Each structure stands twice: as C-alpha cells, then as structure tokens.
C-alpha cells in the first residue's frame, strides 16, 4: 500500500489503519519462528482485530463499504505476505547462525571398528588347498554327519574290524553288536565322521578315473585332553589314475611338504597300517628346530609325523566299481591343527579354540 492510499485509509477508516500499523510492528518484531507463529495468530487469526473488523463491514453504511472492504482485504494480504517474508528471513538467520557456530572437527579421530582376523585353521586349510590346486587337484567336500558305510565299511573296515575301536566314534544312530542278528545292519549306522577319508568313497561313486581331489573339513572323535579336541580338522587327498605308484605318492608329499614348510625340509616314510591302503605308510618331516639332530620338540628323533598315506587298497575299489587291473592310486590324510602347530611352533592345541584374537593376530 503506497503512502497516498494509506493516508486516505487513515482518514476514512482510522481503526483499520491502526490495525495495519500494529500488525506490521508485531510481525516484524517477532524474534524467532515460534514468536512469529504467535504473531501470525494474533494479527491474522480468527480472533484478531483485523478479522473482527472485516466481519463488521456488512454493517457499515453502503457508501463506505467498497473502500473499507477493499482496504481490509489489501491489508490482510499484505500482512500475510509480511509473515512469509519474516519467516524466510528468520530461517535464513537460523541457518547462518548454525553454520557459524556448529562446527565439525574433521581432524578428530574416528570411531574404530575392531576388525576380526582369519582363524589360523582356516588359513592353514587354504594354504594346503592352494598347494594341491597348484598340482591340478579339485576340492571335494562331504557331510560331517556320515553313514557308517562311508566312514568304515566301504573303506575296508567291516563291522567287526578292530580298527573301528581306535576311532572313538560319536554315534548318531548306533547299530550295536548286541542286537539280534536279523536287526544288525552296521552299514546303516549314522555317526559324526571320524576322518575325511569317507569323501574318497563318495567321490569315486560319483566319478570315473582319473581322480585328483583334496578334501578338507571337520572331523569328530570322542576324546578331549591336552592334545585332543572332540572336533578337529583334516585334509584328505586321493589320486586314482593309470599307472600311479608309491613313487608318485612320495614325490607328491615331498613337493607339498617343501611348499608348506619351506625348501630345506626333508621327508621320510615308515611302514604303517590303515585298512583302506596297502601298503600303508606314515610320513615324517625333518625337525626344523634341531635340523634333524634331535631335540625336545621332535622327542630326540629328528623327525615329526605329518600324515598317514598309502596305495589305495583294491578292496576299496570293489565298493565303487573301479577296476584294480586298470587303475591304481594313492591316498593321504593329515591333521590341519597339527600342520599349523608344526609350522608356527604352537605349543598347545587349546590355543586354537580359546577365541583369543591376540593369538590369531600373530599369523
Ligand atoms: N583317515 C586316517 C586317520 O584319520 C588318516 C589317513 C591315513 C588317511 C592313510 C588316508 C590314508 O587317506 O591313506 O587316521
């Protein structure tokens, strides 16, 4: 509203002019957004002087109505616009105020997230796998809850075989020897696998030769003391092809040992017995601490046992329909905990299962 219009309004409707003035004052003096909202209600709300004035217009003399009515509406619109303008102004001020006073110190140290660490067992399994993958082997896995048939019977270890008793088996469904003859069906027993060797049979059932596999995984036995845990890890190897000999087994194990422990380590093999290999051997690696001279760590022998192995017994082939006249092969099995202990000089098996990240971070 320009000055001339205002002057005219003051003469013709002094009440309205006063409302306009006070309204402007109230709105422009609102110091923050809450005060502005209060001012808006006070100046433009249903109970405001302005609203009351506009309501009274119909009662005015007819010749005054047009001017006063128009004036009233112009004033309401202007005051509304003033509220909007003031609101924008207050918001801008609030923003620049917070920008000026609230600071983020980007140089403060952040929150650190404690990182875990790969377990030494997983890492050792991976190292073993990598070496055999490098030789062209495939990784094969089998179930931890296993049938008696695969864990024992098809590995040439029938129900009455004395080798079974050495395994301290956790039975899930046991087929007891005391059961009546007609009910005894040891092959159907269910157990926690006591070694990774059953994977040999499962692979040979599924695949014709040539077979080159490595099978890492968990195994279970019913003992627990300073040198045994009820669950531990093994890695099993199986090769079946034409013309495979004990020399291939020895060369493979020597290569693996040097890759895993280092180039200066020697191996030796000793005769042994396993039901599923014939002949069977155990493999030792030369003791690194004493260089083979003999020390406490190798019980003064100069050698440390690392795995069982042998040429696959033809009896095993009969369970999977391989022809022992055409193919031959070798198998080996090692304890992963033991490999890690020998490689890193870990004195106590229980360190693996204490869950102390300070132990794991060293590797
Ligand atoms: N399964 C045997 C054990 O747990 C280890 C073993 C020995 C695996 C000789 C083999 C093998 O494949 O040929 O004691």
Q: Supply the mean pLDDT for the chain.
A: 90
Q: Whose CA is nearest to atom 7 of ligand 1?
A: 308
Band of the pLDDT at 182, cuts 50, 70, 90?
A: very low
State residue 82's pLDDT score: 92
Higher pLDDT, 248 or 75: 248
Question: What is the average pLDDT across 275-293?
Answer: 91
Residue keyed to tokens 């956790």: 170
Is the CB of 199 within 6 Å of ligand 1? no
Is the CB of 71 within 6 Å of ligand 1? no
Mapped to the 3 state alphabet, what secondary structure does 221-274 carry? CCCCECCECCEEEEEEEEEEECCCCHHHHHHHHHHHHHHHHCCCCCEEEEEEEE
Is the CB of 331 within 6 Å of ligand 1? yes
State residue 187's pLDDT score: 63
pLDDT tens string 74-83 = 889 999 999 9
**For the chain, domain boundaries:** 3-101, 120-360
* pLDDT surpasses 50 at 213: yes
Q: Whose CA is nearest to atom 12 of ligand 1?
A: 332
Q: Residue 278: which of 248, 310, 246, 251 has the closest Cα?
A: 310
What the block records as the tokens of 333 is 């099995």
Task: Give Cβ neighbours of residue 84 (< 8 Å, ≥ 6 apart).
Answer: none
Question: What is the average pLDDT across 136-143?
Answer: 98
Percent of the chain residues past pLDDT 70, beyond the cut:
96
Cα(340)–Cα(324) distance, integer angstroms:
36
Q: How far is CA 142 from the centre of its chain?
A: 22
* pLDDT surpasses 70 at 180: no
Cβ contact 303:261 at 8 Å: no
State residue 10's pLDDT score: 76
Is the CB of 308 within 6 Å of ligand 1? yes
State residue 297's pLDDT score: 79
* pLDDT surpasses 90 at 253: yes
pTM: 0.69
Q: Whose CA is nearest to atom 5 of ligand 1?
A: 333
State residue 114's pLDDT score: 81
Cα(21)–Cα(114) distance, integer angstroms:
65
CATH no. for 120-360: 3.30.930.10
The side-by-side arrangement of strands in the sheet containing 145-147 is 145-147, 190-192, 171-173
Q: Ligand 1 centre and the CA of 33: distance in Å?
A: 81
Is the CB of 220 within 6 Å of ligand 1? no
Lowest mean pLDDT among 64-78, 164-178, 230-244, 331-345: 164-178
Question: What is the bridge-based pairing of β-strands 211-220 and 138-139?
Answer: parallel
Band of the pLDDT at 328, cuts 50, 70, 90?
A: very high
Question: What is the average pLDDT across 124-152?
Answer: 97
Question: What is the average pLDDT across 70-89?
Answer: 90
Is the CB of 236 within 6 Å of ligand 1? yes
* pLDDT surpasses 60 at 102: yes
Higher pLDDT, 165 or 139: 139
């Amino acid at each position: 509203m320009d000055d001339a219009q205002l002057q005219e309004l003051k003469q013709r409707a002094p009440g309205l002019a006063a409302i306009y003035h006070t309204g402007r004052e109230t709105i422009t003096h609102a110091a923050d957004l809450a005060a502005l909202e209060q001012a808006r209600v006070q100046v433009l709300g249903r109970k405001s002087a302005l609203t009351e004035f506009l309501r009274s217009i119909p009662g005015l003399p007819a010749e005054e109505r047009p001017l006063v009515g128009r004036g009233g509406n112009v004033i309401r619109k202007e005051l509304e616009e003033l509220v909007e303008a003031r609101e924008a102004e207050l918001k801008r001020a609030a923003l620049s105020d917070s920008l000026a006073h609230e600071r983020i110190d980007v140089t403060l140290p952040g929150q650190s997230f404690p990182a875990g660490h790969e377990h030494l067992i997983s890492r050792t399994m991976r190292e073993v796998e990598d070496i055999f993958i490098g030789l062209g082997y495939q990784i094969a896995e089998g179930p931890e809850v296993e049938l008696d048939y695969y864990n024992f019977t098809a590995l040439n270890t029938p129900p009455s075989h004395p080798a079974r008793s050495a395994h301290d088996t956790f039975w899930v469904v046991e087929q007891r020897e005391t059961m009546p003859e007609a009910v005894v069906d040891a092959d159907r027993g269910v157990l926690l696998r006591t070694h990774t060797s059953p994977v040999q049979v499962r692979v040979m059932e599924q695949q014709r030769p040539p077979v080159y596999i490595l099978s890492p995984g968990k195994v279970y036995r019913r003992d627990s003391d300073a040198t045994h845990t009820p669950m531990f890890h093994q890695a099993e190897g199986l090769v079946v092809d034409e013309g495979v000999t004990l020399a291939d087994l020895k060369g493979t194990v020597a290569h693996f040992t040097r890759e895993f422990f280092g180039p200066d380590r020697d191996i030796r093999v000793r005769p042994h017995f396993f039901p599923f290999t014939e002949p069977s051997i155990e493999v030792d690696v030369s003791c690194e601490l004493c260089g083979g001279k003999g020390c406490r760590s190798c019980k003064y022998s100069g050698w440390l046992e690392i795995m069982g192995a042998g040429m696959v017994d033809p009896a095993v082939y009969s369970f999977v329909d391989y022809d022992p006249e055409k193919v031959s092969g070798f198998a080996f099995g090692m304890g992963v905990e033991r490999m890690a202990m020998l490689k890193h000089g870990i004195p106590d098996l229980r360190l693996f299962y204490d869950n102390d990240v300070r132990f794991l971070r060293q590797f």
